[in-house]
Amino acid sequence: MLDRRLNHVVALAHSGSFTKAAEKAGISQSGITKSIADLERELGYSLFYRTARGATPTEAGREFVERAVRLLEDARILLAGDRESNDPYAQSLRIGVCPASLEWLLATPLTALLARHPSIRLELIASTFERVVQLLRTGGADVAFGFEDAFAEWSEVKRERIATMRAVLFVRKGHPILSVGAIGHSDLAKFNFVVPSDSRPYGSIIRSLFDDTGLWQRHLHIIDYFPIVTRIVAASDSIGVATREYSSSTAFKANFERLPGESPLPPAQMCCATRSRWEPTLVVKAFLRAMRATLPADI
């Protein structure tokens, strides 16, 4: 019923790759490349920037993708007819999480959400902040969860504060830094760090520890999978970042210790982000209610 090129544009915007978009659309890579090029010629402007790393929407392209997503979703609901009319929650909910190490915080809210609305279909998309924002802006994600500071510069994104994360630094038992009396920045700068991201809110703070050397790149392991983080910290002198809640657990205390004194990492606000110009759907609103009801105010 709708121009199939709309599907091709949305697939490319969401995947960022002609190869992946072709797989999703079920056509050849050359086919989807030609399809989008033909549409751009017809429109008279470019929808995507092409680079060696893939494709990202232009400013005009983002506008086009947003409208295409709405059209395709409206068509899907229209064609579903009575199958969904009796249950307005029988929809998919695509949640972007950035960084991916925050996924565990969604376990309780999502369990509560499905208990109340079992017909919701979940899709969790854990990725970098840049990728999640792109998905949110182009309709590839319905809502995103992450650090409020990271979303602050995007005027088209509406933020709802959910909780406060209090991060601590931790090391293995017997780590040499534990023998230091009052741990200062110069003491911390003697060791490598394992962090989920070098972006906000904590990246700049950790990088500043190495201002005197100017070689912070040599001291950061950027790993967003927490089981790997704990393995590296346990087997080396690297310093990791964890939530205060986790540092109080039995599993943590069996192998690790928090660095004494005040954490150099300030409390960080966690938020859920949606598109400013779109009214959140019923399933997004239900997810936000579940987050507010089940996630502790302090993490």
**In the chain, where are the structural domains located?**
1-82, 87-164+268-299, 167-266
- Label residue 215 by pLDDT band (50, 70, 90): confident
Mean pLDDT of 18-39: 91
- CA nearest 39: which of 7, 16, 74, 71? 7
**Band (271; pLDDT cuts 50, 70, 90):** very high
Model pLDDT, residue 85: 55
> Domain 87-164+268-299 is classified in which CATH homologous superfamily?
Periplasmic binding protein-like II (3.40.190.10)
Going by pLDDT thresholds of 50, 70 and 90, the confidence category of residue 214 is low
Band the pLDDT of 173: cuts 50, 70, 90.
very high
Q: What is the mean pLDDT of the segment spanning 43-56?
A: 89
For residues 34 and 22, give the distance between their C-alpha atoms in angstroms, rounded to a whole number.
Answer: 11
pLDDT band at 209 (very low <50, low <70, confident <90, very high): confident
- What whole-number percentage of the chain has pLDDT above 90? 40
Q: For residue 77, what pLDDT is reported?
A: 67
DSSP 3: -
The two tokens of residue 148 are 């409020």
When mean pLDDT is compared across 32-36, 80-84, 289-293, the lowest value belongs to 80-84
Q: Which CATH class is domain 167-266?
A: alpha beta
| 87-164+268-299 and 167-266 share one fold | yes
Closest CA relative to residue 236, chosen from 255, 261, 217, 250: 255
Mean pLDDT of the chain: 87
pLDDT tier, 81 (very low <50, low <70, confident <90, very high otherwise): low
Q: Which has the higher per-residue pLDDT, 20 or 215?
A: 20
List the CATH code of the domain at 1-82.
1.10.10.10
Residue 203 has pLDDT above 80, yes or no: no
Among 119-123, 138-142, 196-200, 250-254, name the one with the lowest average pLDDT: 196-200
List all residues 6 or more positions away from 125 whose beta carbon is below 8 Å from its beta carbon.
Answer: 94, 95, 96, 97, 132, 135, 140, 141
Q: pLDDT at residue 145 above 90? A: yes
Using the predicted structure, report yes or no on whether residue 253 has a pLDDT greater than 60: yes
Report pLDDT for 198. 66
Query: Which run of H or of E encompasses 149?
Result: helix 148-151
Most confident by average pLDDT, 45-49, 75-79, 98-102, 219-223: 45-49
